[in-house]
Structure 1
Amino acid sequence: MFKQALSTIVALALTLSIGSAFAAVDVNTANTDALRGIKGIGPAKAKAILDERQAHGPFKDAADLSSRVKGMGGKTVQRLEAEGLSIGNAPKTAAASAGGANHVSATPVASSAGSKPVVVKK
């Protein structure tokens, strides 16, 4: 009984640690500590990323990051993305968010003769 409980706890801890290792760190919102949590980003690179983001705004994509931060070529950015760095989550533009917070869009779905409509309330 004890062995089974111990193995369950170990398996749960391993699952949680693996899950947190793959949690994405958004380069457009992360602080120094979060950036340094990505394998391959040290204190100097984290500072360079934050300084560039503060001076010129959020990064649009991987190419934008690699062109704006010295020493971060395309392959380096790809490796960092594999380690959990996410890029391109810049704030939405006014045109993209014109619908507002309560905007709902519907996608037409083909119905069959015997199907009933499904109503989803928010």
Structure 2
Amino acid sequence: MKSGIKVCLIALSVAFSVIDSQATAAQSAGKAQAETKAVTAPAAKSTAAPEKSDSGKVSINTASAEELARAMNGVGLKKAQAIVSYREEYGPFKTLDDLRQVPGMGGALVERNLPHLML
């Protein structure tokens, strides 16, 4: 009986260590991929609209999803794409508070990012 429990515990510890090492490897790969995108993104950037203005703010009416994701705290590429899609469907934002109308953008998230944004 005791040996069966020991075998189960050993099997569980091995399984968890494999899962942990896979998660660590995936996390490292994700970081490396993000760093690669950050390094290569400026070369692929369009010259039509600057990423940031002189004040360091990003325009919610002209920035790409990638630019919005980089500039906004708590906003990943998916939410940034939702902002761009909303803008394409309904036209340019009239106020920064109009971001609250974008699915997934709550009031707290908009408030947190106001210092980084402009029209």
Provide TM-score, normalisation by structure 1: 0.48
Provide TM-score, normalisation by structure 2: 0.49
More helix by share: 2
